[in-house]
Structure 1
Amino acid sequence: MSQTRIPTFDIRRFEDPAQRDAFVAELGAAYQEWGFAGIHGHGIPEAQIAQSYDVFQRFFALPEAVKRKYHVEGGGGARGYTPFGIETAKGATYSDLKEFWHVGREIPRDSKYAASMPANVWPSEIPEFREVAYGLYQALDHLGAKVLGALALHIDLPVDWFDDKIDSGNSILRPLHYPPITSPEVPNERAGAHEDINLITLLVGASAEGLEVLSRQGEWVPFTADADTIVVNIGDMLQRLTNHVYPSTTHRVVNPKGDKARQPRYSTPFFLHPNPDFLIDVLPGTVTADNPSRYPEPITAQGYLEERLREIKLK
């Protein structure tokens, strides 16, 4: 039965043997319906999230010329700063109204993944940026692995099935700044309707409303989570891997009305990716007579990522 509201779950139930089966069934059903859910009880301290937002806001408040020092030309936005007017939702006419920073996984520079996972860039103007940003990266990486463990159980895989496929994942923490909208005629949206590229996305502490999710009935459903809730949604890689058992749902960030439009919006999604050489091949258990394989050709995570980055004008 369809729900009219995107549900929120307490992930502590996953740690409780008496509640785990019920939690997995409910969470899996919610993702099959919405591709989105809220997660609370996650154990990431509110103070850590608040400190992260303070640091990110201080970076975005720096002069444009200072921020642009950290824009890596030709880097496809993989690390450092990406200015306004670049990223564009697939098929959209206008670019999104946002600037952002990318933090990636810290790996040894002699790693086999070094070519596809460049070294991080850190702003010297805010010395604590590195420790704070990477601390949040690690906390969300850990939480994401837990959510994937629950989804694995829901489709009859071992709870640790994803562990060795994401332990060197090309995951990204993206502090975002949507500026105040000063002209009512602006044709751009803060973030145009899109689906995410990766396995799952974890969105922590959006500072304002605006996120909307497209329901299966074709209606835009607002989803403003409580302060202690992290929004977790399915990305295209997991949709492909599970043969659309878990749908990657279209969503957008709309421009608010009235006085709220003149407020900036900050948010920090964490895009959880598999290891670059992971082969995205439809899981046999998700292929049925009613749901034949939609993707006969497998593709590596890195190949898929590069294909999609070209579509959204980051490459």
Structure 2
Amino acid sequence: MSETAADIEIDTGVAAVSYLDPNAPALFAESLRTTGFGVLRDHPIPQALVDEIHRDWLAFFDSEAKHAYAYDKEKHDGFFSTAVSEVAKGNDKKDLKEYYHYFGWGRYPAEVSDAARRYYELAGALAAELLSWLETHTPPDVRAGFSMPLAEMIKDSPATLLRILRYPPLTGNEQPGALRAAAHEDINLLTVLPASNERGLQLKTASGEWGYVPSDFGTLVVNVGDMLQEASGGYYKSTSHRVANPTGESARRSRISLPLFLQPRPDVVLSSRYTAGSYLEERLRELGVKQ
């Protein structure tokens, strides 16, 4: 498959589960176990709230006001321009994106409504519930390895991060091989993401093919991060994923994405090898974010 969006549809095996289904916890846990991803329909996060964030932040990224919030090199909150965008681990090209990091304690632009703040709280509460689902449906021998209940790991965590992403329209002058987001795995415990206004999210299947994650607008995409993989001894696997470059009319439009990265408190023990804090420090150094 090419490094751009492909027309071929690959069955990724990701289950789209109704939050209202009595069997949702078991179905959701199984999807995350087998694919690293799950999709929720009929979830409690209002679509109107997501729409408001998209409108607010598209305008913000199109304005000069964003530069007044340049990211803090120590705290890592604020605005990251395309010039300082991430280089995914194992890659040598910057992703084609700009973004804003919001922590519960961090700076928040005066130019936008409080919709993203409200989403931060709602999605965090939902993530705690989803982690409880996973724990209930994790085999006892794996569950015995958790240092505490999974939902407890993220309670009052200062490290949980909302990344408000904007993938700008493509110009045709991009560096060959550069993607909106190159293949990577998330560092955190769990990621919660409202389906974007434009398709593009792909995961790498067990057979090595890239397929689109089911992401109808209005659904919620959830995926396993490396910290959950570590804490579960590999029972839940962190799956490589990327955002492919669009073609046609979609290439001329911005794409907004709102991943909430649920990070445990730094002192939470993930395994005999790592606390959440030591794991995060190691990965940030690998990414070149920290020296």
Task: Check whether TM > 0.5.
Answer: yes
Instruction: Name the residue aligned to 2:137.
Output: 154
Taking a change above 3 Å as real, the CA distance of residues 226 and 71 of structure 1, as seen in their structure-2 partners, is: same
Q: Equivalent residue of 1:85, what SS?
A: helix
| Count of aligned pairs | 271
Deviation at 1:195, TM superposition (A): 0.2
The residue aligned with 1:111 is: none
- Aligned partner of 2:45 in structure 1 is 44
- SS of the equivalent of 2:124 reads helix
TM-score, length-scaled by structure 1: 0.81
Alignment match of 1:228 (pick from 218, 222, 232): 218
CA-CA distance at 1:224 after TM superposition: 4.2
Query: How far off its partner does 1:7 sit?
Result: 1.2
Deviation at 1:168, TM superposition (A): 1.7
Tell me which residue corresponds to 1:271: 261
Whether 2:192 is the aligned partner of 1:182: answer: no
User: What TM-score, normalized by structure 2, do the two folds share?
Assistant: 0.87
Match of 1:300 in 2: 275
Letter in 2 for 1:161: P
Question: Offset at 1:23?
Answer: 3.2
User: For the residues of structure 2 that align with 1:5 and 1:237, how far apart are their CA atoms?
Assistant: 23
| Partner residue in 1 for 2:28 | 27
| 1:193 counterpart letter in structure 2 | A
The Cα of 1:127 is off from its aligned counterpart by 5.1
Match of residue 294 from structure 1 = none
Q: 1:11 aligns with which of 12, 19, 24?
A: 19
Cα distance in 2 between the residues matched to 1:88 and 1:127: 28
Secondary structure, aligned partner of 1:203: strand
Which digits, 9 at most, give the CA deviation of each residue in 1:125-145, with x for residues without a partner?
A: x152xx222101001101111
Measured after TM superposition, the shift of residue 207 of structure 1 is 1.3
Which has the higher relative contact order, 1 or 2, with Cα contacts under 8 A spaced 6 or more apart? 2
2:109 maps to what in 1?
Answer: 123
Query: Equivalents in 1 of 2:251, 2:25: separation in Å?
Result: 39
Q: Is the 8 A contact 1:8 1:39 kept in 2?
A: yes
SS state at 2:202 partner: strand
- Matched residue, 1:208: 198
Contact preservation (8 Å) 1:276, 1:301: yes
Any idea what SS the aligned residue of 2:259 has? strand
Report the CA distance shift for 1:73/1:270 in structure 2 as closer, same or farther (over 3 A): closer
The one-letter code of the counterpart of 1:91 is G
Asked if 1:313 corresponds to 2:267, the answer is no
Instruction: Say which one has the larger Rg.
Output: 1
- Letter of the structure 1 residue corresponding to residue 25 of structure 2: V
Amino acid at match of 2:16: T
SS at match of 1:180: coil
Q: Please report how far the alpha carbon of residue 70 of structure 1 lies from its aligned counterpart in structure 2 after TM superposition.
A: 0.9
Aligned residue in 2 for 1:132: 115
8 Å contact kept, 1:49–1:205: no
Contact 1:210 1:224 in 2 (8 A): no
Secondary structure of residue in 2 paired with 1:69? helix
